[in-house]
């Protein structure tokens, strides 16, 4: 079921086109640094930031500021802009910076538009894989021009579905260490496709579900619309705060599998 939104379909189309143009720009920036190399440093939260994160987010902010000067911007690497605006662009220039610095090609760029707190447009671009996932409320979910359709799974086939879970410390940080251990003991096919590739594999229906905890707003900003427009189920099952702000726990994928996981992780 599409999310309720008061944004007209014409406006959603326009925002989606703009988000896709932004993704093309950030992909070019990120690919430049993949070829040319980059400096990296540890941030206060012990995660990495590189020249590529900073340059990509700067490029995205410049384009948004020029085209939508009244819109707000929330991004991982710089302070918010127009915090009171109805439309907010939510940016993670490189989701999976640790992967990026190690050459693991499964990182992505996350670009989302929320209106009055409701996700309207979501894009996850994988620069190293050449795959761009996009969706807007009521307009379907797509990958490189191919429509995505998640099919639910029968109960009997559930054990053959791959579930991706993020690393254990993220669950512990949200007091879900025991639930994580229970999942590892209960389900035979738990894998750890870290970063946003777990979300895009779920939007394809290639994995049954992703269970991802210890996330910031920009990590999950595009996922709900992408999953729901593909016919899947998205559930935010946890919200807490630490020194860095709000922490979320989300589950996304095939509806019956997500409902089963919600019982474990609520």
Residues that bind a second copy (CB under 8 A): 98-99, 102-104, 160-162, 164-165, 167-169, 181, 184-185, 188-194, 201, 204-207
Please give the distance of CA 73 from its chain centroid, rounded to a whole number.
Answer: 16
- CB nearer to a second copy: pick between 82 and 200: 200
- CB nearer to a second copy: pick between 4 and 103: 103
- CB nearer to a second copy: pick between 22 and 132: 132
User: What's the closest the beta carbon of residue 144 comes to a second copy, in angstroms?
Assistant: 14
- CB nearer to a second copy: pick between 6 and 186: 186
Query: The sheet that has 233-242: what strands, in order across it?
Result: 163-165, 209-215, 245-253, 233-242
User: What's the closest the beta carbon of residue 179 comes to a second copy, in angstroms?
Assistant: 14
- CB nearer to a second copy: pick between 103 and 145: 103
* 209 within 8 A of 264, measured Cβ to Cβ: no
User: What's the closest the beta carbon of residue 169 comes to a second copy, in angstroms?
Assistant: 5
C-alpha distances in Å from residue 125, one per residue of 82, 142, 178, 251: 25, 11, 33, 20
User: What's the closest the beta carbon of residue 98 comes to a second copy, in angstroms?
Assistant: 7
The residues with which 50 forms a beta bridge, in sequence order, are 40
Question: 78-112 burial, b for 16+ CB within 10 Å, e for fewer?
Answer: eeebbeebebbbbbbbbbbbebbbeeebbbbbbbb
User: What's the closest the beta carbon of residue 26 comes to a second copy, in angstroms?
Assistant: 22
């Amino acid at each position: 079921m599409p999310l309720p939104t008061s944004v007209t379909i014409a406006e959603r189309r326009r925002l989606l086109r703009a988000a896709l143009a932004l993704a093309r720009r950030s992909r070019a920036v990120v690919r430049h640094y993949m070829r040319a190399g980059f400096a990296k440093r540890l941030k206060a939260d012990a995660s990495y930031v590189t020249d590529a994160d900073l340059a990509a987010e700067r490029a995205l902010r410049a384009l948004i500021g020029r085209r939508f000067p009244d819109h707000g911007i929330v991004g991982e690497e710089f302070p918010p802009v127009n915090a009171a605006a109805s439309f907010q662009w939510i940016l993670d220039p490189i989701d999976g910076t640790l992967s990026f610095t190690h050459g693991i090609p499964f990182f992505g760029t996350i670009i989302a538009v929320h209106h009055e707190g409701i996700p309207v447009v979501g894009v996850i671009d994988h620069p190293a894989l050449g795959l761009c996932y996009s969706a807007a409320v009521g307009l379907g979910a797509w990958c490189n021009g191919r429509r995505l359709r998640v099919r639910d799974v029968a109960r009997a086939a559930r054990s053959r579905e791959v579930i991706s879970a993020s690393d254990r410390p993220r669950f512990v940080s949200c007091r879900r260490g025991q639930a994580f251990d229970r999942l590892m003991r209960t389900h035979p096919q738990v894998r750890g496709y870290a970063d946003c590739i777990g979300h895009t594999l779920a939007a394809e229906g290639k994995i049954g579900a992703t269970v991802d905890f210890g996330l910031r707003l920009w990590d999950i900003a595009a996922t709900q619309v992408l999953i729901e427009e593909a016919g899947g189920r998205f559930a935010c099952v946890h919200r807490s705060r630490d020194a860095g702000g709000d922490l979320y726990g989300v589950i996304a994928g095939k509806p019956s599998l997500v409902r089963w996981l919600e019982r474990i992780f609520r």
